[in-house]
Amino acid sequence: RMNIWLQIGSAVVVVLMLVFLYPAAKHWLTNGPKAKKGDWQAAAIPLLLVVGFVILLIMMVR
């Protein structure tokens, strides 16, 4: 059983992280690079290959 003070402390740390990271994330979203044509495809193809490989490994184990 977890100590209640440990849970409260963890919640406080998470809230503080969100409070301090919000301005930086807002700045990155407004001033960051914009996606160009083909960027999503360049990111999706490797992700799909990894997902396919993981599915292949799962099928081989069964």
Q: DSSP class of residue 37?
A: T
Q: Which structural domain range is residue 51 located in?
A: 4-61
Q: Count up the domains in the chain and report the number.
A: 1
Tell me the pTM.
0.49
pLDDT digits (tens, 9 = 90+) for 5-18: 999 999 999 999 99
pLDDT digits (tens, 9 = 90+) for 16-61: 999 999 999 999 999 999 888 889 899 999 999 999 999 999 999 9
- Which pLDDT value is given to residue 1? 62
Residue 2 has pLDDT above 90, yes or no: no
Average pLDDT value for residue range 1-5: 81
> In angstroms, what CA-CA distances link 40 with 37, 44, 46, 62?
8, 6, 11, 33
